[in-house]
Amino acid sequence: MAPTDRVIIDRRMYGPEETILKEGEKGYHFYIVESGMVEVFKIDTDGKPMVLGRVGPGGIFGEMAIIDDSPRMASVKAVQGTTVKVFPRDYLDQRLTKADPVVRAILKVFVGHIRFLSDLQLKQGFNIPQPAVKVSNDSEPS
């Protein structure tokens, strides 16, 4: 790894029900769940949380706000005691800048579709429990 590619990774621990990030915030970091489980949710028009999904060990969250430079589309809280690795925005920005322009464009389209479908889910009142996302540790940034 070249010196300019080094990244400072922070490790944070959260207790059950502790908020990790809030909808509407600017995205300065993305996260990889090391242990535990987090829940991604939005607040519906009645003020009730609507679960969009859960992310378990090896899963990533918080990346969308960095990819499309938009505010966070949902809030995230720990479901149980959870440890996450925190990566700065610059870490992902540098890698996206090096990526093929077509790949960057496809990522932005995917993020746009996810935002649209989440808003549609909220408007139509769907609260669909989803299985935890499981990602191989091989995909973890180095």
Which domains does the chain possess? 3-129 (2.60.120.10)
Q: Kindly report which listed range (31-45, 53-67, 75-89, 105-119) carries the lowest average pLDDT score.
A: 105-119
Name residues whose C-beta falls within 8 Å of residue 90's C-beta, 6 or more positions apart in sequence.
Answer: 7
Predicted pLDDT of residue 6: 58
Predicted pLDDT of residue 121: 65
Report the alpha-carbon distance of residue 50 to residue 122 in Å, rounded: 7
Name residues whose C-beta falls within 8 Å of residue 67's C-beta, 6 or more positions apart in sequence.
Answer: 92, 96, 107, 108, 111
Mean pLDDT, the chain, integer: 80
- Percent residues over pLDDT 70 in the chain: 71
Q: What is the dihedral of CA 31, 103, 5, 87, to 10 degrees?
A: -10
Mean pLDDT, rounded, for 124-139: 52
Report the Cα 87 to chain-centroid distance in Å: 11
Predicted pLDDT of residue 72: 93
